[in-house]
Structure 1
Amino acid sequence: MPFLLSQLIEAFRWMGALAVVGLHATNLFLNQADIMSASHAAPVYLWWFLTGFESGHQAVVGFFVLSGYLVGGAVLARIREPRPFLKDYYLHRFTRVYVVLIPTLLLTLLLDILGCHLFTSSALYEGAMFKGHYSGSLFFTSLLNLQGIYFEFFGTNGPLWSLACEFWYYITFPLLLMLFAKHYPSKIRLMSFTLGLLLFFFLLTPESWFGFGFLLWSMGAFATLIPRALLRSRILSLALLVCVLVIIRLLVRGPTIEACPLISRFADILAAGAFVNLLLTFRDGPKLGFRILESNKHKVFADFSFSLYAVHMPLLVFMRAAADQIFGERRVLQLAQLENYLLAIAVIFTVIFSAYIFSQLTEAKTFAARSRLKHFF
C-alpha cells in the first residue's frame, strides 16, 4: 500500500473515532438548545458544527467504507490466489474483534455496576435509554455480535451495533464469493456459498442497519478493483469530500429527513462515493505531497482508535453520572456556559487517555494473541 494512502487511512481512523466521541460527549454534557436563538462566540458554532449527529454518523459511514476497502479488498485479492486462505483470514478477523470486544463488555459491566452504586443522584443508568439493557442474555448476544441486529445492546455501550454489522460482513463476504475460489473443491465452494447466503438473509431479516451497511462496506471492497479514480486530483477529491460532508451536515437534518426519509440514505451513498474516490486518488497518485500526512502521530492515534470507539460510551456515561453526583444534574444540563465546555473537553481527554491505557492491555496484544492461536489451528 502506498505510504500516503496508508497515512490517510490512519488519519481518518483516529479522526473518525474522535468525531463519534465528540458527538456523544456533546449529547451527554452540553445543552446547546439556544444555538440558533442566541448569539455565541465563533468556537461555539464550530463545536456545534463538528459534533452534530451527521458529523458522527458520516464518520461511521467512513468506517464501513474503509473496512470494506481494507478487509473486503483483501478477500477479493486472496480469492484469486492459487491457495486456500479462509482459515488464516478468519483467524485474523476473530482475533482482531475479540481481543477488544471481550474486555470491552467486561469493562462496560464494571463501569455500569460502579456507576449505578456510586452515583445514586443520577438517573442516567435507570433512564429510558439504558433501562432493561443489563441482562446476562444481552451480554451473551453481544459476545455473538448480534447487538443492533436481533437484540438490544448490552449496558450503556450502544455504539457496538456497528461492530456487530462489520463482524458479520467479515464472516459472510468471503463465503458469498467462494464460488469464484477455484482452488477449493466444488463441494466446499457450494457449501460455503450456501452457508453465506443463509447467514446473510438471516441477518437481513430484522429491521437494522445490516443491509444498507453491507452496501457501503461493499462499495469499499469493490473499489479496490476500480482501475482509477473518477476525479483524479487529490486536492479536488479532498475538496469534494469536504463539500459533500458540509452540505450533508447543514441540510440533512430532522425536518429534511421527515419530509424525505430516503435523503439520509442518498447522503450516505454520496459521502461514501466521495470517500472511495479520495482513497483511489491516494492509491494511484504521486508518492510525495500532503506533508500533514507524513507525521507518525497518525499511526500512534490510529493504533488505539478501535479501543477508543469500543469503550468511549460507558466511560462517558460513567463520568456524566459522576458529574450529576458532584455538580447536580441541573447544573450539568444548564444552557451551555464556558464551564460546561471546559468540563466536556476534560471528559473527552480523559476518555482518550483511558482508551489508550485500555488499548495497551487489549488491542496492542492482537498480534501476540494471533500468533498463539496459530499454534492451535
Structure 2
Amino acid sequence: MPTESVAPPALVTTHEGGRGAFFWTDVMRFCAATAVVAEHARDFLFLTFAEAQAPGAGWKLFYFITGFGREAVMVFFVISGFWITSAIDRRRKGPSFWSDYLIDRLSRLLLVIVPALLIGGLFDLISLRLHSPYAEGLSGALSLTASIQPRMEPQVLLGNLLFLQNIAVPTFGSNGPLWSLANEFWYYLWFPALLLALIQRRPNLALATIAIGLLAPLSLYGGFGVWLMGSALYYLDRMAMAGAFRSRIAAASGPGRLAWLGAAACLLAATASASRLDRLHDFADPAVGLAFALFLWVVLRLDPRRRPAMAAFAGYGAKASFSLYATHFPLVVLLATLLTAGQRGAPDAKTVAMLVLVLAVVLAAGWLFSLLTEQRTAQVRARARTLFLIRSQA
C-alpha cells in the first residue's frame, strides 16, 4: 500500500539510512505485500478450504497462514500513517506546504497507478479473450465472484485514476486490491487538513475533501482510524527520541529486549489469528492495527541492528512493495488462467509448485515494474516541482 504506497505500499526508501528500526519496517512492508499476493494466488490455484476433502493438519496450517491479506493491509495503513505524518511534520510550517505536499503525494501515486491500471487492464483483456473462468467469475475462487467485463468501462478507469474506486465506481477490471489505494489517497488529504485547521484554528479548503466520506462506505472511516494509529505512533516516537519521557523498553538489555519483542510479536500473532478466524467481527481491523502499532512501537524503541541477510527483503519493501501491490492481481489472474485453465486444484505438491512459480513471477514482475516507475519517483518529483515553479512565475 502507498506512503512516503497500496497500498499499499508507496513509502520512500528508508532502510538505506537512519535507524535500524526503519530497516525492519521495510522488511515488514515486503512481508505484508507478499502476504497479500500469497492469499490471492492460493485462492486462484487451490480449492477453497471448504471444498478440499478432509485436509490434514499440515494443509490446514497452509490455508491458515496464506490467508492474512486483509490483516496485511492494516499493517500498511499503520506504516503509511507513520511516514506520511513524518513528511507533513517536516513541511507543515513552510509557505508552500500544500503545493509541495501534493506534488510529492500525487507524483508518488500516479507514477505507479496510471501504468498499473493500463497494464492490468491489458492483462484482464487477455484473460477475457481466453474466456478465463476467473475473469468471468465462474471459477469458484472467492476473490472474483462476478465477471470483470462491466468493470472495464472507460468511466470506471477514470474513476480509479481519480481515486474514487468503491466510492463512486468499482475497482477497475479484476484489480480489487486497489480499494485500499483510494482509501489512502483520501487519508493523505484528510489528515493534514484536520491537523492544520487545529493548529491554525481556522478551516482550510482541504477540509472539504472530508465530504467525500458521505459517499463512501463506513470502512473508509474505519481505515482512517487505523491509519491514525501510525500517525499517533510517529508523534510518540518523536517525543521519545527528544527525551520527553523514558522508555523501559529502550532501557532493556539482553533477555529483556527479547522478552519485549517476543511479547509484542505474540500479541500481534494472536490478534491477527483471531481476526483470521473471524473472532473479532467488526473490531478486527482496528484490533489488528493497534496490535501492529504496539509491535512497531517496541521495534522503534529497541531499534535492532540491520541484518545483511535481510537486506534484499528490506530493499524490495522500500523500493517495490507499492508496485507489487498495485500490479499483482491482474497478473495472478492471467497466470492462473494459463496454468490451470480455470480449474483450481486440490492441495498437493503439484499445486504448491504452481503457487511457488506464480509468486516468483509476480515478485519479479513487481520489481521490474518498480524500476520504471516507483524507483523514479525522485526524478519525477523534481521535474514536477520545476514545472509548477515555472507556471507559478508565468
CA contact (8 A) 1:149 1:210 kept: no
In structure 2, C-alpha distance between the alignment counterparts of 1:82 and 1:206, rounded to whole Å? 32
SS in 1 for 2:359: helix
Q: Deviations over 1:151-195 (max 9, x none)?
A: 21110100000001001111221122223555xxx8xx53x2xx3
Aligned residues: 350
Residue in structure 1 matching 2:234, options 217, 224, 241: 224
Whether 1:273 and 2:286 are equivalent positions in the alignment is no
Shift of 1:276: 2.0
- Indicate the residue corresponding to 1:345 in structure 2: 356
Query: Does the 8 Å CA contact 1:7/1:299 hold for their aligned counterparts?
Result: yes
1:162 aligns with 2:180: yes
Q: In structure 2, do the counterparts of structure 1 residues 293 and 211 end up closer, same or farther at CA, with 3 Å as the change threshold? A: farther
Instruction: Check whether the contact 2:27–2:313 (CA below 8 A) recurs between aligned residues.
Output: yes
Aligned-partner Cα distance in 2 for 1:150–1:282: 39
User: Could you tell me how far apart the structure 1 residues matched to 2:337 and 2:51 are?
Assistant: 25
User: More deviation in 272-281 or 6-15?
Assistant: 272-281
- Residue 65 of structure 1 corresponds to 78
Counterpart position of 1:260: none
Counterpart for residue 377 of structure 2: 366
- Do the aligned residues in 2 keep the contact of 1:308 with 1:356 (CA within 8 Å)? yes
- Counterpart residue number, 2:313: 298
User: 1:177-188, aligned counterparts within 5 Å?
Assistant: 177-180=195-198
The TM-score, its normalising length taken from structure 1, stands at 0.84
Give, in angstroms, the shift of residue 65 of structure 1: 0.6
Amino acid across the alignment from 2:387: F
**Distance 1:147-1:240 versus aligned 2 partners, 3 A rule:** farther
- The answer for the alignment partner of 1:85 in structure 2 is 97
Distance 2:52 2:334 in 1: 30
- Alpha-carbon offset, residue 10 of structure 1: 0.6
Q: Give 1:25's match in structure 2, choosing from 41, 59, 74.
A: 41
Give, in whole Å, the separation in 2 of the partners of 1:292 and 1:334. Answer: 38
Q: What amino acid is the match of 1:298?
A: F
Q: Does 1:356 find its partner at 2:380?
A: no
For 2:309 and 2:95, how far apart are their aligned partners in 1?
Answer: 36
How far, CA to CA, are the matches of 1:376 and 1:173 in structure 2?
A: 26
Aligned to 2:66: 51
Deviation at 1:245, TM superposition (A): 3.8
Alignment gaps of 5+ in structure 2: 1-16, 138-144, 241-245, 389-394
Match runs of 1:101-180 below 5 Å:
101-117=113-129, 119-120=130-131, 122-127=132-137, 128-129=145-146, 130-180=148-198
Change in Cα spacing, 1:238 to 1:37, as seen in structure 2 (3 Å) is farther
Separation of aligned partners in 1, 2:284 and 2:307: 28
Counterparts of 2:49 and 2:19, CA distance in 1 = 44
Q: CA deviation at 1:133?
A: 1.0
Equivalent AA in structure 1 for residue 313 of structure 2: H
TM-score, with length taken from structure 2: 0.81
Identity of aligned residues (%): 29
Match of 1:243 among 263, 266, 289: 266
Q: What are structure 1's unaligned runs of at least 5 residues?
A: 258-262
Instruction: Output the aligned Cα RMSD.
Output: 2.6
- Is 1:282 matched with 2:292? no
Cα distance change, pair 231–58 in 1 and its aligned pair in 2 (3 A): farther
8 Å CA contact 1:108–1:311 kept in 2: the answer is yes
